[in-house]
Amino acid sequence: QKEVEQNSGPLSVPEGAIASLNCTYSDRGSQSFFWYRQYSGKSPELIMFIYSNGDKEDGRFTAQLNKASQYVSLLIRDSQPSDSATYLCAVTANAGGTSYGKLTFGQGTILTVHP
Amino acid sequence: DGGITQSPKYLFRKEGQNVTLSCEQNLNHDAMYWYRQDPGQGLRLIYYSQIVNDFQKGDIAEGYSVSREKKESFPLTVTSAQKNPTAFYLCASSDQHHAYEQYFGPGTRLTVT
């Protein structure tokens, strides 16, 4: 089983719809969760992070975390063509010691928003 | 203008040659990281450094080496021992209080033939 697994894509949604991106992780000790957006040929850009169970909203983006189910998701409301990119989920290794700062990434989900 | 720079953007080498990728940051971040990305894959950690003169192996360190002589710089050498060096290499940094909030440079695309 992969340590961090994202829903297989590509995901295609019409402009204005809600895009839902999902991620599961295997390490129960993980404390922090991140979503990065990566445009084709570019480097990843941090767009959201969440540390506590529940929802965290930032503009059109909402991150949802359920540690009991080891599940984190990203919702993009009112999707725009400019949201078309690969979305990477990243999870921390167990806190402390030499793992500090170490992230494990999922394989990414390609999102296409069509007009 | 603060940020992370990587050079060059594209790099071509012949098999058997060592090559060094540059990464510089002026964000005053303590920690720096090197990742590798293959097509359709997520990022895999090669090496990371939390402070100057100290670094740790990541998940795929074999065939790579690093140094951290200055806070601003974290060069990565891809040696001839790395079996599949062609990839997109990404450098990142973070500050000590938010070690997991990592910010990436533009990347170097290395092609070895």
Q: Write the pLDDT tens digit of every residue in A47-97.
A: 999 999 999 999 999 999 999 999 999 999 999 999 999 999 999 875 555
Residue-wise pLDDT tens digits, B53-108: 999 999 999 999 999 999 999 999 999 989 999 999 999 999 877 777 889 999 99
**pLDDT on residue B96:** 76
Share of chain A above pLDDT 90, in %: 77
Pairwise CB contact (< 8 Å): B104 & A45: yes
User: CA–CA separation, A98 vs B87, rounded Å?
Assistant: 26
Residues of chain A in contact with residue B47, where contact means CB-CB under 8 angstroms, are: none
Q: Do the Cβ atoms of B6 and B107 come closer than 8 Å? A: yes
When pLDDT is averaged across residues B45-58 and rounded to a whole number, the result is 94
Among A101, A106, A108, the residue with its CB nearest the CB of B100 is A101
Which CA distances in Å does B100 have to A33, A100, B24?
9, 8, 19
Residue A102 has pLDDT above 90, yes or no: no
Residue B47 has pLDDT above 80, yes or no: yes
CB burial class (10 A; 0-12, 13-18, 19+) of residue B6?
A: buried
Average pLDDT value for chain A? 91
**pLDDT on residue A28:** 87
More confident residue, A29 or A66: A66
- Tell which residue, A33, A9, A5, A25, has the closest CA to residue A84: A9
**pLDDT on residue A96:** 52
Q: What is the DSSP string of A62-78?
A: EEEEETTTTEEEEEESS
When pLDDT is averaged across residues A1-12 and rounded to a whole number, the result is 85
Residues of chain A in contact with residue B58, where contact means CB-CB under 8 angstroms, are: 102
CB burial class (10 A; 0-12, 13-18, 19+) of residue B84?
A: exposed
**Chain A contact present for B106, CB below 8 A:** yes
**pLDDT on residue A63:** 97
Average pLDDT value for chain B? 93
